Amino acid sequence: MSSLAQAKTLGEIGSILVLLAIIPFAGRAIGLVGLVLILVSVKYISDALADRSIFNNML
């Protein structure tokens, strides 16, 4: 089980990667990885709070 601190860190890294998506060539891949990290972060938060609707609304 992941803690909220780990979820926060994943979300921060994901947000930074999404911002780097403007880089030519590799930007799309970096942005996609960032979005996946944000989704994983939201999933961890949803599990920690035992509220599945958080993750479902993100999707």
User: Tens of pLDDT along 1-57?
Assistant: 568 999 999 999 999 999 999 988 888 999 999 999 999 999 999 999 989 998 999
Does residue 50 belong to any structural domain of this protein? yes
Range of the domain at 17: 4-54
Rounded Cα–Cα distance for residues 33 and 15 (Å): 10
Q: CA-to-CA distance for 5 and 19, rounded, in angstroms?
A: 21
Is position 16 within any domain? yes
Number of domains in the chain: 1
Please report whether residue 37 resides in a domain: yes
Q: What is the residue type of 7?
A: A
Q: Is residue 59 part of a domain?
A: no
Q: Do the domain assignments include residue 9?
A: yes
Q: Considering the domain boundaries, does residue 43 fall inside one? A: yes
What per-residue confidence (pLDDT) applies to 47?
A: 92
Q: What is the pLDDT of residue 15?
A: 96
